[in-house]
Amino acid sequence: LEAWYQKGEGITLNGSDVQTWADSSSNSYDMIQDTATEQPAYSAGVLTFASADKNNLQTSGADIELTGDFTIGAKIHLTAAGGTLLGDNTIAGEFIRFTSTTELRVRVASGTAVNIDKDSGTWLEDAYMILTRSSDVMTLYWKGVAQADTETKAGTASIDAIGVRRTDTNPYEGTISEIQIYSSSSAALIANINDRLSTL
């Protein structure tokens, strides 16, 4: 476990907006936003990101760096395409972004991006997802179902922001309830994350 932004835990509010979402792992990758106009709204464990306001949270220290296998799980409700779920707001070319209603784009190590297409329907729904990389092969699970389109991409994935990529670009539109980030991948881990996220 590299970082865990747990639903309803570690939240510091500025009024009704989130100033800090503390990391529930032992690694202290706390996500912080000191600019009030860029703080996501909060209610009952759910953070709402408005792309027009460029709502985002960023680590105060080192980046989360995933050099090999990784697994990222999230409980989300995307309400418009184009936004970045996770990215790096200081290093160019590092992001996980919903480029359209049916395509997820992943770019790591500032290299060529890869696109993962949804089997059917759109991302615009209340859902939970897992993106995993095992031996450089990326697989996306949407509501517990592995999507047919897999992509191969090596390189270090750097993350220091929720909701944007460098610099405050492609902001996320929708809600996020939880994000888990691991520097490993296994069938058991994927099953455990799916089990938890499906209950949120």
pLDDT digits (tens, 9 = 90+) for 39-87: 999 999 999 999 999 999 999 889 999 999 999 999 999 999 999 999 9
Give mean pLDDT, residues 110-125. 96
pLDDT digits (tens, 9 = 90+) for 146-181: 999 999 999 999 999 999 999 999 999 999 999 999
State residue 76's pLDDT score: 98
State residue 60's pLDDT score: 84
pLDDT at residue 142 above 90?
yes
β strands within 57-121, DSSP E: 57-59, 64-66, 70-78, 84-87, 95-98, 103-107, 114-117
State residue 196's pLDDT score: 98
Separation of alpha carbons 127 and 87, rounded Å: 20
